[in-house]
Structure 1
Amino acid sequence: MIGKGGFGEVFKAILDDRKVVAVKKLRGNYAKAKLGFENEILLISQITHRNLLSLLGWSGEGSDLLLILEYMPNGSLDKFLWAKGLAHLHKESHFRIVHRDIKSSNILLDDHFQPKIADFGLAMFQQEDKSHVTTKFAGTLGYTPPEYVLYGHLSDKVDTFSFGIVILEIISGQKCTSRSFDASSTNGLLEYAWKLYETKNHMKLVDETMDVNQYKEEHVMNMIEIALLCTQSPASKRPTMPEVVFMLSSDPSFGERQLTRPNFIFNHWRMEIGHS
C-alpha cells in the first residue's frame, strides 16, 4: 500500500508484463464510492495531458471498485508546474471541467518530478454559458473559497483559489490550516501570507530550509503575489488558470492590478460544516 485517504487505499502493483501501475481501491459507502468511481472513469478517460494522471483501466466486478492508474514513484507534492494541467481542464479541452479538490496530496510526481493532477472523483462539468452552478459542497476545507463553502457557488475560480493555496504551501513548507508559524494568526496560512504582504514582508513566508538568493527573491515574491491574486474574493477578482499560466511563464508585471484582501470567513465555519 502506497497511499490511504477518505476514498480508500492505493496500492503499487506489477502486472504480468512487468508494467508497474497504481491501483486505487475505493471503499466506504458503496453507492457514494460507485458515484465517484463512475465520475472518475467518465472524466479522465476522455482527456489527456502531460499534467493529468492517466487512467489505464478499471474493474467494477463484485463489491470491489478498482481504478488502474499510472504509477508515480515520487509520491505526492505534499511529501512546478501543474498549472498547465488546470488550464487544460478549464479552457483547452473540448469541455470545461472543475476538479473541486485541488490540494497538494492530489498532485503526484513521476520519476522526473513531472507533476500530474490526480483524483477526479469529485470533478464536475461546467457549461460554457454559465459563470457558476450552485451545488452541494464537496472538497477539502482550507483549499476551497468562501463562496463555495458557504453558498455552494461552483466555478472554475474554485480551482484557481485552490491553486493559490497550494503555491503558498510550497513556498512556506506549511499546511494551509497550520497555525504554528504565527500565534497571532487565527485563520491559517492564507491570512498569515496576506498580513506579510500588507507589511511588505513577503520573504518572511519562505520556508527556512530553502536557499533563496537575491536573484531568486524577486521570483519568489512574484509567486506569492500570484498566489494571493488567485485567492481574492469575490471570485471575479481571481485570474483564470490560462492567465495564471501566462503570469508564471513570463516576467509578471502587476502594474495597475490591485490585490484585494481575501475573505477568511470560511475558516470560522470549519467546525459547523464538518459536523453537518
Structure 2
Amino acid sequence: MLSRNMKVVYLLCVLISLQSRVESDRQGDALYDMKIKLNATSNQLIDWNQNQVNPCTWNSVICDSNNNVVQVTLSSMGFNGILSPRIGELQYLTVLSLPGNNITGGIPEQFGNLSSLTNLDLEINRLSGEIPASLGKLAKLQILILSQNNLTGKIPDSLTNLTALNDIRLAFNGLSGQIPDELFQVARYNFTGNDLNCGTNQQHLCASSVSVQGKSPNSKIGIVLGIVGGVILLLVIGVVFLICKSRRKGYRREEFVDVAGEDDRRIAFGQLKRFAYRELQIATDGFSEKNVLGQGGFGKVYKGVLPDSTKIAVKRLTDYESPGGEAAFLREVEMISVAVHRNLLRLIGFCTTPTERLLVYPFMQNLSVAYRLRDFKPGEPVLNWPTRKRVALGTARGLEYLHEHCSPKIIHRDVKAANVLLDEDFEAVVGDFGLAKLVDVRKTSVTTQVRGTMGHIAPEYLSTGKSSERTDVFGYGIMLLELVTGQRAIDFSRLEEEDDVLLLDHVKKLQKEKRLGDIVDRNLNNEYDGQEVEMMIQVALLCTQASPEDRPTMSEVVRMLEGEGLAERWEEWQQVEVRQEYERLQRRFDWGEDSLYNQDAIELSGAR
C-alpha cells in the first residue's frame, strides 16, 4: 500500500492533470458558445466542434505555448447573432477582433473580466445599448474600436482608468454627453458622428490629427506635398541607380533580395511568418548537404535552427518556375488557412525571392514512419505495436479532417508512411501537402497529371487521372500494411522468393493462407496482439478494394479502428471476394485451361 504522503502526492498530480484538462475544455466550451450565439451557419467555423480537437487547432484561434487561447479574429464573416457573455471566461485572451459583421445586442458586462486583453475591435456591427463601465477594468487595453455601431448613452468615466490606451475610436454611434478630458490625451482618438461635447467648452477637436477622419486642410496640403516630394525622391534614386549600374557593368555577384513575386499577391498570409532568405540560409548552414532530411518531387528538405533555438524543417522548391512547382508553393501556403489539426503538419511560414521559394515547418524530432520502420539506425528504438496503433488512428483522423471538415475539402494524393511524420511523443502528423489538391465541389477533379508514389496509387486514379477522397483511402490502406509488415509498397526483392512484388498482393495471399506470423514485421519480435493485427489487416484490405465505391470513408475507418462496425463490413467484403473468385474460376473453366487460345493469352501478357 502507498504511504499517506505518497497518496497525497498522487492526489495532487491527479488534481493538476484534471485542472489542465478542465481549463482546455472550459476555453473550448466558451468559444463554442460564442459560435452558437453568433448564429454561425453550417459553412462557418466548421472545425469549431466540441468533440473534434483542442480549440487551439480551430481556425481563427491562436494559442500560446501553454494552450491558452490568446487571439480570436473573425472579420467580415456575416454573423448576425449576439456576443456571448462566456467570452469573458477567456482570461488569457489578448486580441478579440470581430469587425465587419452584423452582430446585434449589447456588449456583455463580462468583457470586463478579460484581464489580458490589449485589443478589442467590434467596428462596423449593429451593437446597441451603452458601453459597459466594466471595460474600465481592462488595465492592459491598448486599442478600443467600437465605431459604426448603434451604441447610445454616455462614455463611461471608467475608461479614463485605461492608462495603456493609445487608440480609442467610438465614431458614428448614438453616443451623447460629455467626453472625459483624459481621453483627449490618447494618441489616437475619434468621437465624430455622435451627439457629444468635445471637451470643456468644446476646446478639443472630435478626432485626433492622426485619425483617418477629420483631417484639417493643412494636413491635406501636407499629404500632397509629401507625395510630390516622394515622387521626386524616387526619380533621383532611380537616376543614381542607373549611373551606378552603368559603372559596374560586367561585374556581377550573388545577391539574395527578399522581394515578393507577382503571384504572392494572391496569398493570404494570415498567421504565417514571412522569413528573410538570409535567416533560412543561416539556419540551415547555407543549405548544407549534411542537413538534408529528405528529398521529394519538388525539392529537398533541410533541418535548420533559428536564433531562438527553434528547430525547423525548410522545404526548398527547386522547380518552382515550372507550372507544377509554382502551383505547389501557392497551394501549400493557401491551405494553411483551412487545414489546422493536431494530426496535420503545421506550416510556420515561407520565403520568396526572385530565385527561391521556401516553406518552413516545425522539425519533427522522430522523423517519418517510413524511417522508423525501415531505415532506423542500430540502437534506435523500433516502433512497438501500441505506437503503430496510435499512428494508424492519428493518420486516419488527420485525413478525416482533410476530407470532411475542411471547406473546400482537401485530397492529399500521396498518403504513405514516408509522408507521416512523428513528433516528440511519436504522435502521427500527416505532412507533405505539395501533392495535395484543393477540391471545389463545383469543379471536376480530373487532373492532367497523376501524382503520387507507385504502389500507393489507387487503380482508378492511374487509369482515369481522376482523384477523390477514396484515392486517399486506398493510399492509407497501403500505409496500414506498411505499419503491420514493415515492408515497402513495392519490393522487387520478393521476386527472389517467387512472391508478389506488390505488398497488397503479398499480404492478401498470406492472409488467405492464414499465415499471420509471416505478415507481421519481424522487428516486433512477436510482441503484438494477434487479434489487433488481424483487425488492422482487415481495415487495410477494406480500404484497398478495387472499386472506390466499396471503400469506406475516413470517418468510417476511424470508427472501425476504434472497434465499431468492422465485423459487419468485413463479412460483406468476404462474400464479395468469394463471389469474385468464383467468377474468375468460371471464366477459366469456360475458356479451357489447356486451350491454345489460353496459352497464347498467357504468352502475350507475360514478361518479355
TM-score, normalised on structure 1?
A: 0.87
Partner Cα separation in structure 1 for residue 539 and residue 300 of structure 2: 34
- Where 1:134 maps in the other structure, the secondary structure is coil
Q: Is the 8 A contact 2:487 2:503 kept in 1?
A: yes
Partner Cα separation in structure 1 for residue 407 and residue 337 of structure 2: 13
Match of 1:257 in 2: 572
Match of 1:157 in 2: 470
Q: Is the 8 A contact 1:179 1:189 kept in 2?
A: no
* Distance change >3 Å, CA 187–CA 194, structure 1 → 2: same
Q: How does 1:243-254 map to 2 (within 5 A)?
A: 243-250=556-563, 253-254=566-567
Partner Cα separation in structure 1 for residue 532 and residue 439 of structure 2: 33
Partner Cα separation in structure 2 for residue 125 and residue 232 of structure 1: 24
Q: How many residues align?
A: 260
Q: Report the RMSD for the aligned CA atoms in angstroms.
A: 2.1
Q: Is the 8 A contact 2:482 2:489 kept in 1?
A: yes
Greater C-alpha Rg: 2
Q: Is the 8 A contact 1:143 1:165 kept in 2?
A: yes
Gaps of at least 5 residues in structure 2 are 1-290, 372-390, 581-608
Partner Cα separation in structure 1 for residue 435 and residue 531 of structure 2: 36
Given candidates 2, 9, 13, the residue that maps to 2:304 is: 13
Partner Cα separation in structure 2 for residue 217 and residue 252 of structure 1: 19
Q: How does 1:67-78 map to 2 (within 5 A)?
A: 67-78=359-370
Identity of aligned residues (%): 37
Listed one character per residue, the Cα deviations across residues 152-188 of structure 1 (whole Å, up to 9, x for unaligned) are 1211000000000011011111101014346333442
Partner Cα separation in structure 1 for residue 339 and residue 498 of structure 2: 44
Gaps of at least 5 residues in structure 1 are 263-276
Is residue 2:378 matched to residue 1:87?
no
Q: How does 1:220-231 map to 2 (within 5 A)?
A: 220-231=533-544
- Where 1:162 maps in the other structure, the secondary structure is helix
* Distance change >3 Å, CA 181–CA 221, structure 1 → 2: farther
Q: How does 1:46-195 map to 2 (within 5 A)?
A: 46-79=338-371, 80=391, 81-128=394-441, 133-136=445-448, 137-181=450-494, 183-195=497-509
Listed one character per residue, the Cα deviations across residues 45-104 of structure 1 (whole Å, up to 9, x for unaligned) are 322100000001001112111001111011111011311000000012232111001111
Higher RCO (CA-CA < 8 Å; seq separation 6+)? 1
- Where 2:304 maps in the other structure, the secondary structure is strand
Match of 2:316 in 1: 25
Partner Cα separation in structure 2 for residue 188 and residue 55 of structure 1: 34
* Distance change >3 Å, CA 172–CA 179, structure 1 → 2: farther
Q: Is the 8 A contact 1:97 1:125 kept in 2?
A: yes
TM-score, normalised on structure 2?
A: 0.41
- Where 2:526 maps in the other structure, the secondary structure is coil
Q: Is the 8 A contact 2:338 2:406 kept in 1?
A: no
* Distance change >3 Å, CA 252–CA 202, structure 1 → 2: farther
Q: How does 1:30-49 map to 2 (within 5 A)?
A: 30-31=321-322, 32-49=324-341
* Distance change >3 Å, CA 148–CA 253, structure 1 → 2: closer
Task: Point out the structure with the larger helix share.
Answer: 2
Partner Cα separation in structure 2 for residue 186 and residue 19 of structure 1: 45
Match of 1:202 in 2: 516
Between stretches 77-86 and 183-192, larger displacement belongs to 183-192
Q: How far is 1:113 from its partner?
A: 0.8
